[in-house]
Amino acid sequence: MTDFRPNAPAGSPAEEDADARAARADPRAFARLYDRYVQPVYRYLRSRVGSADAAEELTAQTFLAALESLPRYDPRGFFSAWLFSIARRKAADYFRRRENLPLEEAEDLASESDLPGETAQADQIRKLTQLIRSLAEEERDLIRLHFTAGLTFAEMGALLGKKEDAVKKSVHRLLARLHGRME
């Protein structure tokens, strides 16, 4: 299956570990990790909360918490999994403070089309959006982590406490189920 993850973070687990160790010794070295992950964390949070302003604030909170917690990070795992666990907690905190859940922006984009081809595509986007909304939160999070945040299956496994193969199978089954429902 083709990997459609946009702008996946560059760097091997060994590079992440080296960067995390350097940042533990000198917080200025945290900039490399920030540069590598700021966009994937933002995209993930934006997909969770539906608001650019809120996602920017949560991204800042995520990196501040990561920097403050860096001395407790164990560099034998995936830094990305550790960082996204912080981002997930920040998103959960956000929803505990709010009453309204965000709407997917794809429907807004879909309603703006004029041409027949765009209308057909808009209908598909609307249907896919509805299908994704009907998924359990855990399943929606798999989609966000892989396609929006760009995490690998190994990173997702480390984050979720599951084996890489189990995560990969879950994502592939989920995509097959969505594909079947789209047809």
Q: What's CA 94's distance to the chain center, in Å?
A: 16
- Tell me how many degrees the CA angle 84-39-52 measures, rounded to the nearest 5: 95
Beta carbons of 38 and 63 less than 8 angstroms apart: yes
Is the alpha carbon torsion for 159, 34, 9, 108 positive or negative? Answer: positive
Which stretch of 43-47, 114-118, 138-142 has the lowest confidence by average pLDDT? 114-118
Q: Give the number of other CB atoms < 10 A from CB of residue 32.
A: 17
User: What distance in Å separates the CA atoms of residue 155 and residue 52, rounded to the nearest whole number?
Assistant: 25
Instruction: Return the pLDDT at 44.
Output: 94
Residues 6+ away with beta carbon under 8 Å from 17: 75, 76, 79
* Residues 27-43: tens digit of each pLDDT: 889 999 999 999 999 99
Distance from the Cα of residue 42 to its chain's centroid? 8
> Alpha-carbon distance 117 to 105, whole Å?
19
**Least confidently predicted of 65-69, 84-88, 123-127:** 123-127
- Residues 131-157 pLDDT 10s: 888 889 999 999 889 888 888 999 999
Q: What is the pLDDT of residue 88?
A: 94
CB 33 within 8 A of CB 19: yes
Share of the chain above pLDDT 70, in %: 81
Rounded Cα distance between 2 and 111, Å, is: 29
Count of CB atoms situated within 10 Å of the CB of 33? 23
Q: Model-level pTM greater than 0.85?
A: no
